[in-house]
Amino acid sequence: MKKEPLKIALLLFLFILPYTAHASVRQNSLDVKIGQMLMIGFRGFSVAEAPGIAENIKKRHIGGVVLFDYDVPSHTASRNISSPMQLSSLTIDLQKLSEIPLFIAIDQEGGKVCRLKTSRGFPPTVSAARLGQIDSPDSTTSAALQTALTLKKMHINMNLAPIADLNVNPDNPVIGRLGRSFSADPSVVVRNITLTADTFRNQGIIATLKHFPGHGSSTTDTHFDFTDITGSWSDKELEPYRALVASGYHDAVMTAHVFNGKLDPLYPATLSKNVLDGLLRKKLGFSGVIVSDDMQMKAIADRYGLEQAIRLAVEAGVDILLFGNNTSYDPDIASKASMILRSLVKKGIISEKRIDLSYRRIMELKKRYLFSGK
Protein backbone atom coordinates (compact mmCIF):
# COMPACT_ATOMS: atom_id res chain seq x y z
CA MET A 1 0.00 0.00 0.00
CA LYS A 2 2.85 2.38 0.80
CA LYS A 3 4.34 1.92 -2.67
CA GLU A 4 1.23 3.18 -4.46
CA PRO A 5 1.52 6.90 -3.47
CA LEU A 6 5.22 6.82 -4.39
CA LYS A 7 4.39 5.33 -7.76
CA ILE A 8 1.76 7.99 -8.43
CA ALA A 9 4.13 10.77 -7.36
CA LEU A 10 6.84 9.43 -9.67
CA LEU A 11 4.46 9.25 -12.61
CA LEU A 12 3.31 12.83 -11.98
CA PHE A 13 6.92 14.01 -11.79
CA LEU A 14 7.81 12.29 -15.07
CA PHE A 15 4.73 13.81 -16.71
CA ILE A 16 5.34 17.36 -15.50
CA LEU A 17 9.14 17.45 -16.03
CA PRO A 18 9.14 17.60 -19.84
CA TYR A 19 6.45 20.28 -19.87
CA THR A 20 8.31 22.39 -17.32
CA ALA A 21 11.56 22.08 -19.23
CA HIS A 22 9.79 22.89 -22.50
CA ALA A 23 8.10 25.96 -21.03
CA SER A 24 11.41 27.15 -19.55
CA VAL A 25 13.20 26.80 -22.88
CA ARG A 26 10.42 28.54 -24.76
CA GLN A 27 10.21 31.43 -22.33
CA ASN A 28 13.96 32.03 -22.56
CA SER A 29 14.30 31.66 -26.34
CA LEU A 30 15.21 34.67 -28.48
CA ASP A 31 11.91 34.41 -30.38
CA VAL A 32 9.94 34.66 -27.15
CA LYS A 33 11.99 37.61 -25.90
CA ILE A 34 11.52 39.45 -29.19
CA GLY A 35 7.80 38.64 -29.19
CA GLN A 36 7.38 40.10 -25.72
CA MET A 37 8.69 43.41 -27.07
CA LEU A 38 5.73 43.74 -29.47
CA MET A 39 2.25 45.17 -28.76
CA ILE A 40 -0.12 44.82 -31.70
CA GLY A 41 -3.52 46.20 -32.68
CA PHE A 42 -5.94 44.10 -34.73
CA ARG A 43 -9.42 43.97 -36.25
CA GLY A 44 -12.14 41.73 -34.87
CA PHE A 45 -14.73 41.51 -32.10
CA SER A 46 -13.72 37.94 -31.30
CA VAL A 47 -10.73 35.63 -31.64
CA ALA A 48 -12.62 33.75 -34.34
CA GLU A 49 -12.83 36.99 -36.35
CA ALA A 50 -9.13 37.69 -35.82
CA PRO A 51 -7.10 34.59 -36.71
CA GLY A 52 -4.06 36.77 -37.35
CA ILE A 53 -3.81 37.96 -33.76
CA ALA A 54 -4.27 34.40 -32.48
CA GLU A 55 -1.33 33.31 -34.64
CA ASN A 56 0.75 36.25 -33.43
CA ILE A 57 0.10 35.29 -29.81
CA LYS A 58 0.71 31.57 -30.21
CA LYS A 59 3.43 31.52 -32.86
CA ARG A 60 5.22 34.83 -32.38
CA HIS A 61 4.66 35.12 -28.61
CA ILE A 62 3.71 38.80 -28.79
CA GLY A 63 3.66 40.36 -25.35
CA GLY A 64 0.61 42.53 -25.70
CA VAL A 65 -2.39 43.74 -27.69
CA VAL A 66 -4.00 47.17 -27.87
CA LEU A 67 -7.76 47.61 -28.29
CA PHE A 68 -9.71 50.28 -30.17
CA ASP A 69 -13.38 51.11 -30.62
CA TYR A 70 -13.00 52.79 -34.03
CA ASP A 71 -11.09 51.65 -37.11
CA VAL A 72 -9.46 54.75 -38.57
CA PRO A 73 -8.23 53.32 -41.93
CA SER A 74 -11.69 52.02 -42.87
CA HIS A 75 -13.59 54.89 -41.16
CA THR A 76 -15.91 52.47 -39.39
CA ALA A 77 -16.83 51.69 -35.79
CA SER A 78 -16.18 48.00 -36.46
CA ARG A 79 -13.01 47.23 -34.53
CA ASN A 80 -12.73 45.49 -31.12
CA ILE A 81 -15.47 46.87 -28.87
CA SER A 82 -19.24 46.59 -29.25
CA SER A 83 -20.52 45.87 -25.72
CA PRO A 84 -19.28 44.91 -22.25
CA MET A 85 -20.25 41.26 -22.73
CA GLN A 86 -18.51 41.02 -26.11
CA LEU A 87 -15.37 42.77 -24.87
CA SER A 88 -15.10 40.62 -21.76
CA SER A 89 -15.36 37.48 -23.89
CA LEU A 90 -12.71 38.77 -26.30
CA THR A 91 -10.16 39.61 -23.62
CA ILE A 92 -10.65 36.30 -21.80
CA ASP A 93 -10.15 34.39 -25.05
CA LEU A 94 -7.06 36.41 -25.96
CA GLN A 95 -5.49 35.71 -22.59
CA LYS A 96 -6.17 31.98 -22.94
CA LEU A 97 -4.07 31.89 -26.12
CA SER A 98 -0.88 33.05 -24.44
CA GLU A 99 1.65 31.02 -22.46
CA ILE A 100 2.90 34.24 -20.86
CA PRO A 101 0.14 36.59 -19.62
CA LEU A 102 -0.61 39.31 -22.15
CA PHE A 103 -0.60 43.03 -21.64
CA ILE A 104 -4.11 43.94 -22.79
CA ALA A 105 -3.95 47.70 -23.26
CA ILE A 106 -6.35 50.50 -24.07
CA ASP A 107 -6.49 54.32 -24.16
CA GLN A 108 -9.12 55.01 -21.53
CA GLU A 109 -8.12 58.54 -20.49
CA GLY A 110 -11.62 59.91 -20.02
CA GLY A 111 -13.46 62.65 -21.87
CA LYS A 112 -12.81 62.68 -25.63
CA VAL A 113 -10.14 59.98 -25.57
CA CYS A 114 -12.29 57.15 -24.35
CA ARG A 115 -12.52 53.76 -26.06
CA LEU A 116 -15.21 52.44 -23.71
CA LYS A 117 -18.09 54.73 -24.55
CA THR A 118 -21.50 55.13 -22.94
CA SER A 119 -23.12 54.41 -26.32
CA ARG A 120 -21.79 50.86 -26.00
CA GLY A 121 -22.86 50.31 -22.44
CA PHE A 122 -19.92 51.63 -20.43
CA PRO A 123 -19.98 54.21 -17.61
CA PRO A 124 -19.47 57.92 -18.39
CA THR A 125 -16.00 59.41 -17.86
CA VAL A 126 -14.51 62.77 -16.94
CA SER A 127 -11.76 64.50 -18.91
CA ALA A 128 -8.37 65.26 -17.38
CA ALA A 129 -8.94 68.96 -18.09
CA ARG A 130 -12.12 68.97 -15.99
CA LEU A 131 -10.47 67.07 -13.15
CA GLY A 132 -7.55 69.48 -13.22
CA GLN A 133 -9.93 72.43 -12.95
CA ILE A 134 -11.61 70.86 -9.93
CA ASP A 135 -8.22 69.73 -8.56
CA SER A 136 -9.82 67.68 -5.81
CA PRO A 137 -8.22 64.46 -4.54
CA ASP A 138 -11.66 62.94 -4.02
CA SER A 139 -12.85 63.72 -7.56
CA THR A 140 -9.69 62.49 -9.25
CA THR A 141 -9.50 59.35 -7.16
CA SER A 142 -13.17 58.60 -7.78
CA ALA A 143 -12.77 59.01 -11.55
CA ALA A 144 -9.63 56.85 -11.59
CA LEU A 145 -11.31 54.18 -9.46
CA GLN A 146 -14.29 53.98 -11.80
CA THR A 147 -11.95 53.61 -14.77
CA ALA A 148 -9.88 50.95 -13.02
CA LEU A 149 -12.92 48.93 -11.97
CA THR A 150 -14.37 49.11 -15.49
CA LEU A 151 -11.09 47.86 -16.96
CA LYS A 152 -10.88 45.06 -14.39
CA LYS A 153 -14.37 43.86 -15.30
CA MET A 154 -13.27 43.76 -18.94
CA HIS A 155 -10.03 41.90 -18.06
CA ILE A 156 -7.97 44.79 -19.41
CA ASN A 157 -4.79 45.15 -17.38
CA MET A 158 -2.97 48.16 -18.87
CA ASN A 159 -4.22 51.69 -19.40
CA LEU A 160 -2.24 53.96 -21.71
CA ALA A 161 -2.88 56.81 -19.30
CA PRO A 162 -2.68 59.16 -17.42
CA ILE A 163 -1.49 62.10 -19.51
CA ALA A 164 1.53 63.78 -17.93
CA ASP A 165 1.70 66.50 -20.61
CA LEU A 166 1.36 70.11 -19.49
CA ASN A 167 -1.29 72.19 -21.24
CA VAL A 168 1.31 74.65 -22.48
CA ASN A 169 -0.53 75.32 -25.75
CA PRO A 170 -4.33 75.28 -25.26
CA ASP A 171 -4.71 75.20 -29.07
CA ASN A 172 -2.60 72.07 -29.37
CA PRO A 173 -4.71 69.90 -31.74
CA VAL A 174 -3.89 66.59 -30.04
CA ILE A 175 -3.63 67.60 -26.34
CA GLY A 176 -5.08 70.99 -25.37
CA ARG A 177 -8.09 71.08 -27.67
CA LEU A 178 -9.10 67.58 -26.64
CA GLY A 179 -8.97 68.33 -22.90
CA ARG A 180 -6.39 65.61 -22.31
CA SER A 181 -4.06 67.55 -20.00
CA PHE A 182 -4.82 68.14 -16.33
CA SER A 183 -3.27 71.62 -16.32
CA ALA A 184 -0.53 73.96 -17.49
CA ASP A 185 0.65 74.02 -13.87
CA PRO A 186 3.15 71.20 -13.18
CA SER A 187 2.08 70.91 -9.54
CA VAL A 188 -1.56 70.29 -10.54
CA VAL A 189 -0.48 67.68 -13.07
CA VAL A 190 1.77 65.95 -10.54
CA ARG A 191 -1.01 65.76 -7.94
CA ASN A 192 -3.55 64.35 -10.36
CA ILE A 193 -1.36 61.83 -12.18
CA THR A 194 -0.04 60.60 -8.84
CA LEU A 195 -3.56 59.96 -7.56
CA THR A 196 -4.55 58.33 -10.86
CA ALA A 197 -1.50 56.07 -11.09
CA ASP A 198 -1.79 55.07 -7.42
CA THR A 199 -5.47 54.20 -7.83
CA PHE A 200 -4.76 52.15 -10.93
CA ARG A 201 -1.95 50.29 -9.17
CA ASN A 202 -4.11 49.55 -6.14
CA GLN A 203 -6.66 47.93 -8.46
CA GLY A 204 -4.06 45.94 -10.40
CA ILE A 205 -4.13 48.16 -13.49
CA ILE A 206 -0.81 49.19 -15.03
CA ALA A 207 -0.54 52.94 -15.59
CA THR A 208 1.41 54.41 -18.50
CA LEU A 209 2.54 58.02 -18.17
CA LYS A 210 2.64 59.80 -21.53
CA HIS A 211 4.04 61.41 -23.71
CA PHE A 212 7.70 61.72 -22.73
CA PRO A 213 9.42 64.24 -22.77
CA GLY A 214 6.28 66.37 -23.20
CA HIS A 215 3.76 66.89 -26.00
CA GLY A 216 1.76 69.76 -24.53
CA SER A 217 3.44 72.62 -26.38
CA SER A 218 3.16 71.18 -29.89
CA THR A 219 1.22 72.83 -32.69
CA THR A 220 0.83 69.72 -34.86
CA ASP A 221 -0.27 66.12 -34.37
CA THR A 222 2.31 63.31 -34.64
CA HIS A 223 -0.39 61.03 -36.07
CA PHE A 224 -0.21 63.10 -39.26
CA ASP A 225 2.86 65.34 -39.24
CA PHE A 226 6.47 65.83 -38.28
CA THR A 227 6.15 67.70 -34.98
CA ASP A 228 8.94 70.07 -33.91
CA ILE A 229 8.72 71.44 -30.37
CA THR A 230 12.26 72.81 -30.16
CA GLY A 231 11.10 76.40 -29.77
CA SER A 232 8.11 75.77 -27.52
CA TRP A 233 9.28 73.05 -25.10
CA SER A 234 10.76 73.85 -21.69
CA ASP A 235 12.33 71.85 -18.89
CA LYS A 236 9.24 72.29 -16.69
CA GLU A 237 7.51 69.70 -18.90
CA LEU A 238 9.75 67.09 -17.30
CA GLU A 239 8.50 67.89 -13.80
CA PRO A 240 5.63 65.35 -13.75
CA TYR A 241 8.04 62.55 -14.70
CA ARG A 242 10.76 63.81 -12.38
CA ALA A 243 8.35 63.92 -9.43
CA LEU A 244 6.75 60.51 -9.99
CA VAL A 245 10.01 58.69 -10.66
CA ALA A 246 11.51 60.28 -7.56
CA SER A 247 8.54 58.98 -5.55
CA GLY A 248 9.18 55.42 -6.74
CA TYR A 249 7.03 55.12 -9.86
CA HIS A 250 8.44 52.34 -12.08
CA ASP A 251 5.57 50.94 -14.13
CA ALA A 252 5.48 52.27 -17.71
CA VAL A 253 6.19 55.47 -19.65
CA MET A 254 5.13 56.10 -23.25
CA THR A 255 7.33 58.09 -25.60
CA ALA A 256 6.35 61.01 -27.82
CA HIS A 257 7.25 61.17 -31.51
CA VAL A 258 8.06 64.87 -31.12
CA PHE A 259 11.35 66.33 -32.36
CA ASN A 260 13.15 68.52 -29.85
CA GLY A 261 16.44 69.94 -31.04
CA LYS A 262 17.27 71.02 -27.49
CA LEU A 263 17.46 67.35 -26.50
CA ASP A 264 18.55 65.67 -29.72
CA PRO A 265 19.56 67.45 -32.96
CA LEU A 266 18.87 64.38 -35.11
CA TYR A 267 15.99 62.22 -33.91
CA PRO A 268 12.47 62.50 -32.44
CA ALA A 269 12.14 61.33 -28.84
CA THR A 270 10.98 57.77 -29.61
CA LEU A 271 14.16 57.17 -31.62
CA SER A 272 16.53 59.22 -29.46
CA LYS A 273 19.08 57.61 -27.16
CA ASN A 274 19.76 61.08 -25.72
CA VAL A 275 16.12 61.42 -24.67
CA LEU A 276 15.26 57.89 -23.53
CA ASP A 277 18.50 56.44 -22.22
CA GLY A 278 20.26 59.68 -21.33
CA LEU A 279 17.39 61.74 -19.93
CA LEU A 280 14.64 59.33 -18.83
CA ARG A 281 16.83 56.46 -17.67
CA LYS A 282 20.04 58.06 -16.45
CA LYS A 283 19.11 61.60 -15.45
CA LEU A 284 15.60 60.97 -14.09
CA GLY A 285 16.34 57.41 -12.92
CA PHE A 286 13.37 55.61 -14.48
CA SER A 287 13.80 51.83 -14.27
CA GLY A 288 10.45 50.65 -15.62
CA VAL A 289 9.16 49.77 -19.08
CA ILE A 290 9.39 52.26 -21.94
CA VAL A 291 6.57 51.88 -24.48
CA SER A 292 6.75 53.60 -27.84
CA ASP A 293 3.86 55.61 -29.11
CA ASP A 294 2.36 54.01 -32.22
CA MET A 295 5.24 53.27 -34.58
CA GLN A 296 2.88 53.61 -37.56
CA MET A 297 2.14 57.28 -36.92
CA LYS A 298 3.26 59.46 -39.81
CA ALA A 299 5.79 61.42 -37.75
CA ILE A 300 7.82 58.19 -37.75
CA ALA A 301 6.49 56.10 -40.66
CA ASP A 302 6.79 58.87 -43.28
CA ARG A 303 10.43 59.64 -42.42
CA TYR A 304 11.96 56.31 -41.51
CA GLY A 305 11.79 52.84 -42.98
CA LEU A 306 10.38 50.14 -40.73
CA GLU A 307 13.77 48.51 -40.09
CA GLN A 308 15.48 51.82 -39.36
CA ALA A 309 12.69 52.94 -37.03
CA ILE A 310 12.75 49.66 -35.10
CA ARG A 311 16.55 49.69 -34.84
CA LEU A 312 16.71 53.30 -33.65
CA ALA A 313 13.86 52.84 -31.14
CA VAL A 314 15.45 49.76 -29.55
CA GLU A 315 18.91 51.36 -29.52
CA ALA A 316 17.35 54.43 -27.88
CA GLY A 317 15.87 52.32 -25.08
CA VAL A 318 12.31 51.40 -26.09
CA ASP A 319 11.22 48.11 -24.48
CA ILE A 320 7.81 47.66 -26.14
CA LEU A 321 7.25 48.59 -29.77
CA LEU A 322 3.59 49.47 -30.21
CA PHE A 323 1.99 48.96 -33.62
CA GLY A 324 -1.61 50.06 -33.20
CA ASN A 325 -2.57 49.12 -36.76
CA ASN A 326 -4.99 52.02 -36.64
CA THR A 327 -3.20 54.76 -38.54
CA SER A 328 -2.54 52.33 -41.33
CA TYR A 329 -3.42 48.64 -41.24
CA ASP A 330 -0.88 45.90 -41.92
CA PRO A 331 -2.01 42.37 -40.96
CA ASP A 332 1.62 41.21 -41.22
CA ILE A 333 3.18 43.90 -39.02
CA ALA A 334 3.98 41.53 -36.13
CA SER A 335 5.71 39.10 -38.48
CA LYS A 336 7.66 41.91 -40.15
CA ALA A 337 8.73 43.47 -36.84
CA SER A 338 9.82 40.17 -35.30
CA MET A 339 11.77 39.23 -38.43
CA ILE A 340 13.52 42.61 -38.43
CA LEU A 341 14.48 42.25 -34.77
CA ARG A 342 15.82 38.72 -35.32
CA SER A 343 17.81 39.94 -38.34
CA LEU A 344 19.29 42.86 -36.39
CA VAL A 345 20.40 40.46 -33.65
CA LYS A 346 21.80 37.95 -36.16
CA LYS A 347 23.82 40.72 -37.85
CA GLY A 348 25.14 41.91 -34.49
CA ILE A 349 23.56 45.35 -34.91
CA ILE A 350 21.47 44.83 -31.78
CA SER A 351 22.94 42.53 -29.15
CA GLU A 352 21.09 39.71 -27.40
CA LYS A 353 22.06 41.45 -24.17
CA ARG A 354 20.01 44.47 -25.26
CA ILE A 355 16.99 42.23 -26.01
CA ASP A 356 17.46 40.53 -22.63
CA LEU A 357 17.35 43.90 -20.88
CA SER A 358 13.93 44.75 -22.31
CA TYR A 359 12.66 41.22 -21.69
CA ARG A 360 13.65 41.41 -18.02
CA ARG A 361 11.90 44.75 -17.56
CA ILE A 362 8.76 43.47 -19.29
CA MET A 363 8.67 40.26 -17.28
CA GLU A 364 9.29 42.10 -14.02
CA LEU A 365 6.26 44.32 -14.73
CA LYS A 366 4.16 41.31 -15.70
CA LYS A 367 5.17 39.45 -12.56
CA ARG A 368 4.15 42.38 -10.36
CA TYR A 369 0.71 42.71 -11.96
CA LEU A 370 -0.25 39.72 -14.08
CA PHE A 371 1.20 36.84 -12.07
CA SER A 372 0.09 38.21 -8.70
CA GLY A 373 -3.58 37.33 -8.95
CA LYS A 374 -4.66 40.96 -8.48
> How many Å apart are CA 55 and CA 254, to the nearest integer?
26
Domain containing 37 equals 33-369
Note the pLDDT of residue 299. Answer: 80
Mean pLDDT of 229-258: 96
Residue 294: inside a domain, yes or no? Answer: yes
Residue 25 lies in a domain: no
Residue 121 backbone zone (phi > 0: left; psi -120 to 50: alpha; other: beta):
left
| Structural domain contains residue 65 | yes
pLDDT tens digits, 328-366: 999 999 999 999 999 999 999 999 999 999 999 999 999
- Number of domains comprising the chain: 1
More confident residue, 341 or 24: 341
Q: Which of 165, 223, 251, 319 is an active site residue?
A: 223
- State the chain's mean pLDDT as an integer: 91
Mean pLDDT, rounded, for 50-63? 96
Mean pLDDT of 168-193: 96
CATH number at residue 263: 3.20.20.300
Identify whether 26 is part of a domain. no
Q: What is the dihedral of CA 202, 108, 249, 267, to 10 degrees?
A: 170
223 among known catalytic residues: yes
Measure the CA–CA gap between 147 and 163, rounded to whole angstroms.
Answer: 14
pTM for the complete prediction?
0.91
325: left (phi over 0), alpha (psi -120 to 50) or beta: left
| Position 2 pLDDT exceeds 50 | no
pLDDT band, residue 166 (cuts 50/70/90): very high
Q: Which of 107, 251, 293, 294 is catalytic?
A: 293
| pLDDT tens digits, 150-161 | 999 999 999 999
User: Sign of the CA dihedral 345, 348, 352, 355?
Assistant: negative
Q: What is the pLDDT of residue 53?
A: 97
Q: Residue 38: pLDDT band by 50, 70, 90 thresholds?
A: very high
Mean pLDDT confidence for 104-119: 97
Residue 271 lies in a domain: yes
Residue 11 within any structural domain of the chain: no
In this predicted structure, the answer to whether residue 9 has a pLDDT above a threshold of 80 is no
Residue whose C-alpha is closest to residue 26's, from 66, 68, 61? 61
Ordered alpha helix ranges (H), 177-332 = 186-202, 239-246, 273, 298-301, 306-316
Q: Give me the mean pLDDT over the 285-311 stretch.
A: 94
Residue 198, in any domain of the structure? yes
Residue 12 lies in a domain: no
User: Is residue 224 predicted with pLDDT exceeding 80?
Assistant: no
Q: Are the C-beta atoms of 165 and 109 separated by less than 8 Å?
A: no
